[in-house]
Structure 1
Amino acid sequence: MHNFAPGSASRAAASLAEVVRFRTVSSRLPAEVDAEEFEAFLAALPRLYPSVHAALEVERVNGAALLFRWPGTSGDPGSRPTVLMAHYDVVPAGDEQAWTHPPFSGHSDATHLWGRGTLDDKGQLVAILEAAEALLDEGFAPAHDVYFSFGNNEETAGDSAAAAVELLAGRGVRPWLVLDEGGAVARGAFPGVSRPAAVVGVAEKGILDVELLTRDPGGHASTPPRMGATARLARAITRIEQNPFPQRLPEVTAEMLRRFGPHAPAPLRVAFANLSLLRVPMTWLFGRLGNETNAMTRTTVAITTLEGSAGANVLAATAKANANIRVAVGDTVAGTVERLRKVIRDPKVELRVVEGNEPTPVSASTGPQWQLLEDCISATFPEAIITPYIMMGGTDSRRFIGICDSVYRFAPFAMDAADRGSIHAVDERISLETLGRGVRFYETLLRRL
């Protein structure tokens, strides 16, 4: 038996502990995906949330994704519908022996719930369903239609969210608001700012994978040529590393700095207050405060995989590397690839786009949708500074930009640096207190819609 914290977190923690035990691991290799675990997860939801399944319409999308519709009392399905999103697939746990508690145990120590998916992203899915279950049990009904779109392959950038969008578009549904995972209430996120920051993603960088390939006749390693396939590839990688993309301070990031300004140490407070005059030096400084802040100012390139010869004494006939690129808002996939060609300066290095998505449009940080989110965050996390930001990673919500102009990314969970570092790593966990606050956030949001 688990001992859970009292209050609103208790039921949510018990439900989350149960669903964490399902190994709903996503992989691009079909052999690594256990379909039975996904089916077991889906079969558990009606038992855990009977009121939701009795009152809401639910359908399977693209095999194992879910789309719920909570009909609004207005009776008009086109009147201000909202989509709340989450995904229940998780990344592999890695070395399970390295975890303090087994990654699929749902262990609770009365302070935290441990396990793969507690933060990314079963915790958010549970918070949404717990809020809906509680509201239904007290007789609440929303004024406008509310949809829950729960993905099964977000971690592999799969197509289930796109299938849900296609379904909604075919029915003439244009959401007034879409809210997915993304930002959070982050403690210690910005140097010198002690207050937690509720960062709401208003856009996502583009994600681009480019293969670098070099060719050579190969042969025996005892008679190596100059600038063989591996050396040529290494030179190309070095040139990319030595020539980072130019820095810019997007308007969203500038707005974030303005909001942090009153809470920053004196020198930074003055600089942020005069950002229009000091934009160039502040851009330079922001790019050097750390890896996270640097990534906010430019398109980034990370060489992730390398492949050369299969033998220690064999020259490589081909050598290749993968460049994983996060395309800054304002840049394009085509422009990024062209700049890579110019930086590499070698026509014998072939570039092939494996997969690429443009940066998303920027949703407004003013207006009724933004104000609603600000109000709900303030009600749940009154200690937090609320600010827009540009997400470095990608979410299923990017699929919705074609049918909605107000797409936001925010998980209503407080996370310190250790919590954030546990996502996709060992010892992922969520505090029971913040899980309860997450439920209250969605209750507040659903009431105010």
Structure 2
Amino acid sequence: MDTKGKAELPGGAPPPHVRRTRWLAIAGSVSFLALLQFTLSLRSSCHLPALSLGSSAPVCPQASPLEPEKNGALWNDLTALHATNDFLTRAVGQLSAAVQIPTETFDEMAPVGEDERWLSRGPFIDHLATAFPLVHASLELQKVNTYGLIYTWQGSDASLKPLLLMGHYDVVPVAPLSVDQWTHPAYSGYFDGEYVWGRGSSDDKSGVIGILTTIEVLLEKKFAPTRTVVLSFGFDEEGGGIHGARYLGAELLERFGPDSFAMIVDEGAGYMKEYGGIFAMPGVAEKGHANVNIEVQTPGGHSSVPPEHTSIGMLAALIVHLENNAPVPVLEVGTTAFEMAQCWAAHAPDMPGLLKRTILRAGKSHTALKAAEAMLLKDPMFKAVVGTTQAVDIISGGVKSNALPEQALALVNHRIATQSSVNATITRDAELIRDLAARFNLSVTAYGELLTPAAAASYGSLTLTSPQNLEPAPVTPSDAPAYHLLAGTIRSTFYTARKDVEGGKTHISVAPGMMTGNTDTRYTWELSRHIYRYGHGNLIEGLGGIHTVDEHIRADSFVEMITFFTTLILNADEATTL
């Protein structure tokens, strides 16, 4: 329900960990989208009705927009500044300059010091020192593994848990064959009066530059934080954060200890339209992933005397069998997908009446739940978020047209539902494949364990390995004060940017969401139980060319992002038990 009051965020014993799934997905590189629910009290000025079913608790209640009180005058001054053309010009200039410095991350880069491609990070770091002089004069900067950056803005009250803001300044490469397809050169940072164009303009130099611009301006205004603010910027998120965020996370854990941060905010989805309603969807969870390698080995020979099935044919049959028996997604009460759907039903004005009624009844009726599941799973994006997915992404085999292939390999990529696990996912693959492999008289070894009798004669072998996997992230509770502070901040920022403080002209709902991809937060799970993946920005028009040709960001959306970070820092600074 809508309630008033400055967010009270847990400072004592934290609540028990909540293993609930929440959804989101934003169909882009990071593929995010969806989320929502909550309770508890927040002080502010705007109340929004929450749909209630009989005597039950309201469905998807909304936090009131949350504005700073102690620092209210400063916040009013800063939001007025953000609305000026001069500030937009300044912000655009900062982002444009950052985009003009290529910082590409490639697959399988050697460690720092052994691969010269890391050297591109040096000029970018040097640029930051020049572009943000007050940040570098006032905050402590620690470089981790040469190019990872940790900035510490020390607060006056050491008893308060710090706020951790994250981002990454590396970008995906620009494909050489696509260079001439860009409307403006990929590293031009060109501003056409409405958009900033270039690789990294949206993912994620806008986040890094937005945070640093926020703090630079706060320092210009002589703001001194009560709560410590820590910034952590990775340099290889597009490669999995192995050389960057992994080291940054370990350093932060050593310096601050487990569960030491009040909340963590990293890149993620912004706000978008669903069924005619605008929804902001901070990710409170991430799906896991597992790569399963399938290798079939059989005797070679001349292809003029072939067996009934070659290794490639056997592998093809195994793959077809996997695809014909894909994991079945199930909509479960209490999961992120379910709560997201309920939020849509409660707040989206254009959702069809039958779907709306069915979703709202699904929490108490199994029949309604299955009916809602059948309707919602027709949406491929929603279906992908609900359950564990599989995709055969790589296949290889054979060396010559007249030689029988002795080896055939495939890689199956799984994105694992938050209510599942790596072990359950890869075990399912082994069980599915084992019986079919027996028909081809193949011995089966799955993840180091021989599944067929050692004495059994075989024509060849089938081997499953899974060297790269990640469990689903712990789910951040959406009934916690930290979540309410974030939600209130999002709504306040949205209305302020539109000079619609009471939310009378436009309405935004906030929903807890889930990442279908993974961010650098995978290395911060021990640092806080309140981790959010959210990049405040207008995605109603689309994803801005993330990871493809013509990446761009609206200039006014970038300024709104700076307003969000400003409001978040000031709200967190005033929260008494965050």
Distance apart, 1:40 and its partner CA: 0.4
Question: Which deviations, in whole Å up to 9, do the C-alpha atoms of 1:362-385 show, x marking residues without a partner?
Answer: 001122110111111001124322
- Does residue 289 of the first structure (1) align with residue 369 of the second (2)? no
Distance apart, 1:34 and its partner CA: 2.4
| Residues 27, 33 of structure 1: 8 Å contact kept | no
Q: Considering only CA atoms, is the larger Rg found in Structure 1 or Structure 2? A: 2
Structure 2 CA distance for aligned equivalents of residues 210 and 199 of structure 1: 31
The corresponding residue for 1:434 is 557
Structure 1 CA distance for aligned equivalents of residues 192 and 525 of structure 2: 40
Structure 1 CA distance for aligned equivalents of residues 88 and 183 of structure 2: 22
Distance apart, 1:46 and its partner CA: 1.0
Distance apart, 1:37 and its partner CA: 1.7
| Residues 22, 41 of structure 1: 8 Å contact kept | yes
Q: Return the letter of the residue paired with 1:309.
A: G
Question: Which deviations, in whole Å up to 9, do the C-alpha atoms of 1:124-157 show, x marking residues without a partner?
Answer: 1111111111111001122111100000111111
Structure 1 CA distance for aligned equivalents of residues 474 and 108 of structure 2: 31
| Residues 185, 198 of structure 1: 8 Å contact kept | yes
Aligned residue runs from structure 1 range 45-444, under 5 A:
45-74=128-157, 76=158, 79-94=160-175, 95-159=178-242, 160-173=244-257, 174-187=260-273, 190=274, 193-250=275-332, 251-262=335-346, 263=348, 264-276=351-363, 277=365, 278-290=368-380, 292-344=381-433, 345=435, 346=437, 347=444, 348-382=461-495, 383-416=507-540, 418-419=542-543, 422-444=545-567
Distance apart, 1:70 and its partner CA: 0.5
Structure 1 CA distance for aligned equivalents of residues 270 and 106 of structure 2: 26
| Residues 130, 439 of structure 1: 8 Å contact kept | yes
Structure 2 CA distance for aligned equivalents of residues 249 and 33 of structure 1: 48
The corresponding residue for 2:22 is none
Say which SS state the counterpart of residue 423 (structure 1) adopts: coil
| Residues 247, 284 of structure 1: 8 Å contact kept | no
Q: Return the letter of the residue paired with 2:131.
A: L
Question: Which deviations, in whole Å up to 9, do the C-alpha atoms of 1:309-331 show, x marking residues without a partner?
Answer: 12233322111111111011111
Question: Which deviations, in whole Å up to 9, do the C-alpha atoms of 1:229-286 show, x marking residues without a partner?
Answer: 1111111111111111121225221111111113123222212211222222222322
Query: What is the CA RMSD across the aligned residues, in angstroms?
Result: 1.7
Question: Which deviations, in whole Å up to 9, do the C-alpha atoms of 1:287-329 show, x marking residues without a partner?
Answer: 2212x11111110011111111122333221111111110111
Q: Return the letter of the residue paired with 1:243.
A: N
Bigger CA drift: 422-431 or 169-178?
169-178
Bigger CA drift: 272-281 or 12-21?
272-281
Bigger CA drift: 171-180 or 369-378?
171-180
The corresponding residue for 1:13 is 92
Say which SS state the counterpart of residue 90 (structure 2) adopts: helix
Distance apart, 1:357 and its partner CA: 0.6
Distance apart, 1:416 and its partner CA: 3.3
| Residues 260, 385 of structure 1: 8 Å contact kept | no
Structure 2 CA distance for aligned equivalents of residues 423 and 313 of structure 1: 44
Question: Which deviations, in whole Å up to 9, do the C-alpha atoms of 1:92-116 show, x marking residues without a partner?
Answer: 1122222222211111111111111
Structure 1 CA distance for aligned equivalents of residues 120 and 490 of structure 2: 34
Say which SS state the counterpart of residue 543 (structure 2) adopts: helix
| Residues 291, 468 of structure 2: 8 Å contact kept | yes
Q: Return the letter of the residue paired with 1:84.
A: L
| Residues 25, 33 of structure 1: 8 Å contact kept | no
Q: Return the letter of the residue paired with 2:382.
A: T
Structure 1 CA distance for aligned equivalents of residues 394 and 517 of structure 2: 19
Structure 1 CA distance for aligned equivalents of residues 116 and 374 of structure 2: 44
Structure 2 CA distance for aligned equivalents of residues 51 and 166 of structure 1: 27
Q: How many residues align?
A: 437
Q: Return the letter of the residue paired with 2:89.
A: S
| Residues 18, 106 of structure 1: 8 Å contact kept | yes
Say which SS state the counterpart of residue 277 (structure 2) adopts: coil
Q: Structure 2-normalised TM-score?
A: 0.73
> What stretches of structure 1 of length at least 5 have no aligned partner?
none
Distance apart, 1:7 and its partner CA: 4.6
> What stretches of structure 2 of length at least 5 have no aligned partner?
1-83, 438-443, 445-460, 496-506, 573-578
| Residues 144, 150 of structure 2: 8 Å contact kept | yes
Structure 2 CA distance for aligned equivalents of residues 180 and 139 of structure 1: 26
Q: Return the letter of the residue paired with 1:56.
A: L
Distance apart, 1:33 and its partner CA: 6.1
Q: Return the letter of the residue paired with 2:126.
A: A
Say which SS state the counterpart of residue 264 (structure 2) adopts: strand
Say which SS state the counterpart of residue 492 (structure 2) adopts: helix
Structure 1 CA distance for aligned equivalents of residues 403 and 191 of structure 2: 53
Higher RCO structure, 1 or 2 (CA under 8 Å, sep 6+): 2
Distance apart, 1:440 and its partner CA: 0.4
Q: Structure 1-normalised TM-score?
A: 0.93
Structure 1 CA distance for aligned equivalents of residues 278 and 417 of structure 2: 25
Say which SS state the counterpart of residue 403 (structure 1) adopts: coil
Distance apart, 1:43 and its partner CA: 0.4
Structure 1: 4+ residue segments shifted above 4 A: none
Cα distance change, pair 216–82 in 1 and its aligned pair in 2 (3 A) = same
